[in-house]
Structure 1
Amino acid sequence: MANTPYPQSYYAASANAAPARPLLQDDVETDVCVIGAGYTGLSSALFLLENGFKVTVLETARVGFGASGRNGGQIVNSYSRDIDVIERSVGPKQAQLLGQMAFEGGRIIRERVAKYQIQCDLKDGGVFAAITSKQMGHLESQKRLWERYGHTQLELLDQRRIREVVACDLYQGGMLDMSGGHIHPLNLALGEAAAVESLGGVIYEQSPAVRIERGANPVIHTPQGKVRAKFVIVAGNAYLGNLVPELAAKSMPCGTQVITTEPLGDELAKSLLPQDYCVEDCNYLLDYYRLSADKRLIFGGGVVYGARDPANIEAIIRPKMLKAFPQLKDVKIDYAWTGNFLLTLSRLPQVGRLGDNIYYSQGCSGHGVTYTHLAGKVLAEALRGQAERFDAFAELPHYPFPGGQLLRTPFTAMGAWYYSLRDKLGF
């Protein structure tokens, strides 16, 4: 099988050294076979290994090859639909559980980084930036909502205060979340993979799961080998393909684009983001940006529905960057790439079980960095027989996209066009 390299991103170019892992060429037996070596799979594997399970991870390409190694690198709390939406659609007990979990993913990341000494440029502090007064009103109610669930590291920023943290004239105000922050996402995944192996877990790269033989003891087939397991965790997200057809119908891969400038130097970098916080705006199709450890601006935004790779990423994203920071007009772009995330119709994650022994989590809908780390813990709890938190996610209602797989892309793109028009008009 061909060796799949990482896409040419800033993260791949600045990744910590990591071993090439073997591909699976024989039959192995394990307690849990995890499909996918991104954050969901690695987090699941780590929690299971810490609880005495024997774990084997299968990865189609390389550790962190998908969204885990290509994202904006921002630690953002809660879910893509906030807790108030969840409260309106489920009962109070389920809402309470999901609300309490909304801030756990970021804590898990920090625990992992500290416990396993992962070098991933972790920085504290994330800003939600309001472009309109209506968005500022949303942030004020969001702060009250999050504080109801015990989340207190929040500060509302008026127009003067937000200028102190981001040198941009677009914003009316914002909210600073000091439990948010940013990381080098691929280095976080590589560090977690090393932690998995330090506990006896085995990771096979270039070893796609091509078929799952379901039954009392499932068998996961790869092109050159197979894994017999007691349990399976399906953690492929937007890169799962059609391995589990019932999961493909309820989700849609979407592409997001990221560019990275040349190094800006300390003075210019500090003038843009003096406290080195990461920023995302409050639009439906949002822009997000932050500084890298070597003082480049990493700027992302835009969504391509159906996950096609656009021909010229820089042409899509550079104008957005210059709208925020016109002072960067002469700065060179060193890297531009795209990566896929998985969207659900409700924009809430899909968690569940197929039969007695195949568990899955997917569809973070753009909030994956924190949620996936929580998902790993929740899946591991369920395998240990503690299913209360797993059930809180599993009972969320989910629907197939209208028109099925054929029409889901145009329908969703139309919806996004409508919301982006609302953003532009300030509704």
Structure 2
Amino acid sequence: MKKFKFLLSACMAALLATSFTACSDDPAEGNGGNNNPEETTKDYHFDLFLSVGKHGGMSQGDGTIVRSVSDLSADADKITIEGIGSEFESNGNTYTMEAIVKGKYYYEVPYQPADRFVKLEVNYDPTTGKNALNVVGQRPFADGYTFKARSYTHAWLDDNTLLIMAANGDADKIIWTKLNADDMSIIDSGTLSEITAPEGYPVLTTSGILTYRQSDKKLYYFYFAKTSKRNGKATPYFYTAIIDPATMKVESNEPNNIAQQTAGSAYGELMQNSVMYDEDDNLYLATFTPDENEKEIGHLLRIKKGETQFDTTYDGYPNADGKLLTIQYLGNGKALAYARNDDGDPQDGTLNIDSYCHYYTILNLADGTRERLKYNGEEIAYNAGRFSQRTAVVDGKAYVGVNTREESCIYVYDIATGKVEKGAEVDASFYFDILRVMSNQ
């Protein structure tokens, strides 16, 4: 069995090699892009996030180090963070791996200082391969509209307008703030007064899932409520609120009758993708419902273009063996999914963050059929890391990071042909949790 160990010398080398630039409130250039994190550009690199001590996400692990690379092919050197990666900290401030990504920037509410929105850049020198974390903009919260690290959701209304939304401190109201992503100025803030906790379920979910659909220019907000903040019972079904982004007026707010919760609702797609769109602008959402044995059965729901309610005849992930964790559209009616087998680790039966019971599969959205990702005719082994997004889609390829008992590496899936090649190896002394495509411009 592969054993992960925290290499103190490696971490110290990474810290010593990392340089930071001073914080600035100067406006940054516009960053372009679209609603999806897997942007296609000819000038990009990859950011890999590796956690220390244990798998990261949801405040797990003992630290996060990011490493930028331009090549994930088999010809690339083994990807290590020794003396070259950057601790996700700067001048005593601590940032989260759960973040909003667009172009070459990260946007987030940090752990410290915890009273503001921050715009970050992980500077990358392709000549030396070294990273340096730079804060390029920040803005204190508007009075009365306070957000918490990792506990919010977001949508891009255009290339430069970022909407952030979450439950308030008492979790009985939904608050929002619109930001100008260029200079991080606050455009407006408010409360969705039409959304209140349902009777018997006084606690609204921390974040929910928010998305903006281009074809009807509406916001779709998926959320649920609970009987209490800790281990409370959830509403039988989650709700869909449709919002006018210009006025932030809630136009409708109804429960579905298919699934109980959305995937990633506690942290609002800051780490894992649970919403996707196809070429026709049909909206897909990863969800789940516990069965009689409390096994979390995944579903992939769809709202067709021109409609506002889920298609009750459609499930793009039928007969699930557990929770559907992430989805990413590949084109031509196919999607890449990361899922969990709720029977647990085949070797020891465990079902936790570090259990080897997570796998990659290719979905045919037309009929719900799917096939485990394979290499040389063999299924790629189960992965550890529940709160992981080790996949990135760009330029006709899906880069799939694995963290199995036997290996930590990248596989490259050619979308047009379905061919899978083995790519770069990743240092297995740390826990590989996130892979992101970042613009160089």
TM over 0.5: no
Quick one: higher RCO (CA 8 Å, sep 6+), 1 or 2? Answer: 1
Q: Which has more helix, going by share of residues? A: 1
Q: Which has more strand, going by share of residues? A: 2
TM-score normalised by the chain length of structure 2: 0.27
